[in-house]
Amino acid sequence: MSTLVIVDIQNDFCPGGALEVPEGDQILPTVNHLINQFDNIVITQDWHPEGHKSFASSHPGKSPYDTVKMPYGTQVLWPDHCVQGSEGADFHPELNTRAAQLIIRKGYRTEIDSYSAFFENDHSTSTGLHGYLKDLGFHDLYFCGLATDFCVKWSVLDALQLGYNATLITDATKGIDMDGSVEAAFEEMKEAGAGFVSSEDINESELT
Ligand code: VGL
Ligand code: ZN
């Protein structure tokens, strides 16, 4: 059975937001069309407390896009974004969230960032998504959303590691792109066994 996983289409990741993904909002018509094609929809929401350790503002002397060592590895520091309850953390107003069966929030522990829909950045603390998908019998996961080179990539890689079939819908995702990171992300996902499909090639009648 198939499910569509829509990653982080929130105001702060769209043009004008705190951690803008270039043209991030341009995928909305495509994503809303996909929502109509799938029977099961999961949406993720980046959901940080104020003072989150992934914010450059929590590290004196550091600027956004610098990196620091965290107990779980290297962490890119971001502008403050998707603060719980803020307008920036809200879904883009054009995203059709009504059809979602599950909204999964991530990144809500101050000390640890969470890119993937499945695990926090220590790669072991679960978000609960795997349990949900297993329990309901979903094996074929289609991914879209923001940002290709961070949360989408890690979600796809973890899905493959967990044994799902994972397919990226290539015209329904946009990346931040730091030093060629979008191209590198595509390469990593390909190496790991991800499928790639254009939204036009998704045939509703073939989805189970
Ligand atoms: C994301 C950086 C920080 C993402 C979230 O959704 O890709 N990127 N938090
Ligand atoms: Zn974040």
Residues of the chain with confidence (pLDDT) below 50:
none
In the annotation, is 151 catalytic?
yes
pLDDT recorded at residue 205: 77
At residue 10, φ and ψ (nearest 5 deg) are -120, 160
pLDDT recorded at residue 146: 98
- Tell whether 71 is covered by a domain: no
- Tell whether 162 is covered by a domain: yes
Domain containing 174 — which CATH number? 3.40.50.850
Q: Which ligand is nearest to the CA of 143?
A: 1
- Tell whether 58 is covered by a domain: no
- Tell whether 200 is covered by a domain: yes
Query: What is the CA(90)–ligand 2 centre distance, in A?
Result: 13
pLDDT recorded at residue 206: 81
Q: Which ligand is nearest to the CA of 10?
A: 1
Sorted by sequence, the CB contacts under 8 Å of residue 139 that are 6+ apart come out as 1, 133, 164, 165
- Tell whether 182 is covered by a domain: yes
pLDDT recorded at residue 27: 98
pTM: 0.97
pLDDT recorded at residue 55: 98
pLDDT recorded at residue 203: 85
pLDDT in tens, 11-20: 999 999 999 9
- Tell whether 152 is covered by a domain: yes
pLDDT recorded at residue 52: 98
- Tell whether 114 is covered by a domain: yes
Q: Whose CA is nearest to atom 8 of ligand 1?
A: 150
Domain range spanning residue 122?
Answer: 2-49+91-206
Sorted by sequence, the CB contacts under 8 Å of residue 126 that are 6+ apart come out as 118, 119
- Tell whether 67 is covered by a domain: no
Domains in the chain: how many in total? 1
